[in-house]
Structure 1
Amino acid sequence: MFFRKREPRPEPVATRTGRRPGQSARDKQQELADAAPIKTFFTRLFDLHTDERAWRLGADGEERVGALLEQIRPHGWHVEHDVRVGSRGANLDHLVIGPPGVFVINTKALSGKVWVGGDNVMVNGRPRDYVEKLEYEAQRVRRCLLAATRRHRLWVQGLLVMAHQKPVVNQQPQNVAVIHHTELVPGLLGQPVKLSAEDVAELADAARREETWAE
């Protein structure tokens, strides 16, 4: 009788998958609520602006956008939510990879008027650095994916998605796009194809790997 030599089991690959949309924001909101339940009750009752409220609305927005993004999976897209990058607590709200390319999505749940004029974004008349931060996120994702796949070229597009108020866009920023959440899915699906199925699979595999985001 012959016995087949047992093959060693491969080590499990650590991944960033399995995280829920808005998970980091929701965890932080719940932490604040649990630390001061009575205060949280009254601040919610009177809709006062607190850190707990900000984190709660942020989580709501990410969950709304995350649910929309799940609709594009059957169309050959890979979707990751709440991707943790590096070791200092940074995260990407959403990362999607599909035939048109790679998109980093930052979600904002704002109640005030949003005005966009090129790289300048104003909320209730006050400037916000959303474009600058999203450009940095997109470049960081590009570096990480290039290093992980050893590709020489890759364009990563940043999308700033407003989950509540529709922005007044006088002029789009140079390197990112500002859109309302209702424009997200049709906008992504309507983009021209730039990547093959093999390219998408390679980039998606890299996005799943823990080591890709260790920068």
Structure 2
Amino acid sequence: MTATESAGGIGTIPAAAVIAACLSAQAGVSRRSRVARVFGRSPLTEDSKPWYLGALGELQVAERLARLGPDWRVLHSVPIGERGSDIDHAVVGPAGIFTINTKFHEDARIWVGSTRLLVNGQKTDHLRNSRYEAQRVAKKLTAMAGEPIAVHPAIVLVGARSVTFRERPADVIVLRDTELVRWLTRRAATLDPGRRDRVADMLTRPETLATMSGTPADVDLPAFAALRHEVGAARRVRMLWGTAVLLAGAALAATVAINTYTALLGGWAG
């Protein structure tokens, strides 16, 4: 079994919950007009864009986690509770059990302290929420296993321009997605293979973490793939327009410079 496979339906599709939320927010949105397509207006709405970016972040982290070896079990979009909450990624391996909260902050400046995480100077609840997720999972796994099971919370940052650590939180791991696999594989082993498999199997059982209805099969992956293609095409059109404007500006500036120079030469000649 590879690092990205699970023993059941739960946890097999990265970003399942946010993809579903994105498509739900996009439902009923009118097709872009021809003019909008010509000028590259994004098909995303204000409601769907945060879900879309969240999905991209989770998919990117899932690709990173796929590089882990066979000693690791990775689950994605693991439902917990009855209100639609989920764990972005749950990782079980030699180094222990981790709940990973993926945060896509495109081109943002992130500051991390012992008790706060700021995004472009704004306070967030990332540390508190990640801590709560891990505690919630640990409590449920402990109850099912009949013995204490520790779960470590992690925040994985995607797309940030810069990450500044004033002081690292004592109980929440914060790192970039590019650091994730190396960080996990370099930690000391704490779980034997048998216990790892038992914990991973528990995480795939609906009765362990959630009593929700719905499965990853409910996610319309082709529809999201089509939306990604449309968003990418619109971005490329905007880039072409931006390049065209820059070239036109440069050509205009060159024309003005030549005309000015010609006028000066004519003045000197006269």
Distance (whole Å) between structure 1 residues aligned to residue 76 and residue 22 of structure 2? 17
Match of 2:150 among 155, 159, 178: 155
Write the distance in 2 (CA, Å) between the matches of 1:36 and 1:47: 9
Cα distance in structure 1, aligned partners of 2:156 and 2:143: 27
Distance 1:88 1:41 in 2: 37
Residue aligning to 1:33: 26
Q: Which amino acid aligns with 1:64?
A: Q
- Normalised TM-score (structure 1): 0.85
Name the amino acid aligned to 2:98. Answer: F
1: CA distance, partners of 2:52 / 2:89: 17
Normalized per residue, the structure richer in helix is 2
* CA distance in 2: counterparts of 1:35 and 1:186, whole angstroms: 43
5+ unaligned residues in a row in structure 1: which ranges?
A: 1-13
User: If each structure's strand is expressed as a fraction of its own residues, which one has the higher value?
Assistant: 1
| Alignment-mate amino acid for residue 24 of structure 2 | E
Q: Distance in 1 between matches of 2:14 and 2:135?
A: 22
Cα distance in structure 2, aligned partners of 1:41 and 1:172: 45
Aligned counterparts of 2:37 and 2:163: Cα–Cα separation in 1: 31
**Residue 94 (structure 2) pairs with residue 87 (structure 1):** no
Number of matched pairs: 200
Name the CA distance, whole Å, in 2 between partners of 1:200 and 1:46. 44
Residues 175-213 of structure 1, C-alpha deviation per residue, up to 9 Å, x if partnerless?
101100000000000010001111111111211211111
After TM superposition, the score normalised by the length of structure 2 is: 0.68
2:92 pairs with 92, 97, 113, which one? 97
Could you report, residue by residue, the CA deviation over 1:146-178 in whole angstroms, capped at 9, with x for unpaired residues? 112112x22211110001114212211121011
Q: In the superposition, relative to structure 1, how do residues 116 and 124 fare at CA in structure 2: closer, same or farther (>3 Å)?
A: same
Report if the CA contact (8 A) 1:92-1:105 is conserved: yes
1:1-215 matches, within 5 Å, as: 15-38=8-31, 45=41, 50-74=46-70, 76-111=71-106, 112-151=108-147, 153-165=148-160, 166-214=162-210
Instruction: Give the RMSD, CA atoms, in angstroms.
Output: 2.4
